[in-house]
Amino acid sequence: MDRQMYHYATVSKALQELTEKGYTIDYNLQEDRIKANYKDFEIMEIYRYEGESDPGDEATVYGIQSKDGQKGVFVAGSGAFEENSAAKLLDTMSIQGRSQE
């Protein structure tokens, strides 16, 4: 998995940069699609936003691409990583990708 990880001061800055790179689909609106077909997606970029004082303000922005070439984003807040969530699947995929590098 050849992807980049970035740290930005705000989630909106990460989303702006991903939009400029062609990531235009909001996969948060298609969470069930990711959960049902997670093997059809690849994480291309990961942006992390870390809250200055509250860990609850942390978020991860994934730049993901489907096998058919559709590029989009998925934003996961700190509470989004519950069992059977798309955020949990994406987090697992990113960990697996790191172990393959």
> Has residue 48 been placed in a domain?
yes
Q: What is each CA distance from 46 to 32, 65, 69, in whole angstroms? A: 20, 12, 18
> Has residue 62 been placed in a domain?
yes
> Has residue 4 been placed in a domain?
no
Entry pTM = 0.77
Look up the domain containing 34 and give its range.
Answer: 11-97
Domain count, the chain: 1
Count the residues in the chain.
101
Digit-coded pLDDT (tens) for 16-66: 999 999 999 999 999 999 889 988 999 998 888 776 655 556 788 999 999
Q: What is each CA distance from 61 to 8, 40, 82, in whole angstroms? A: 10, 18, 16
Measured CA to CA, the distance from residue 84 to residue 69 in angstroms comes to: 25
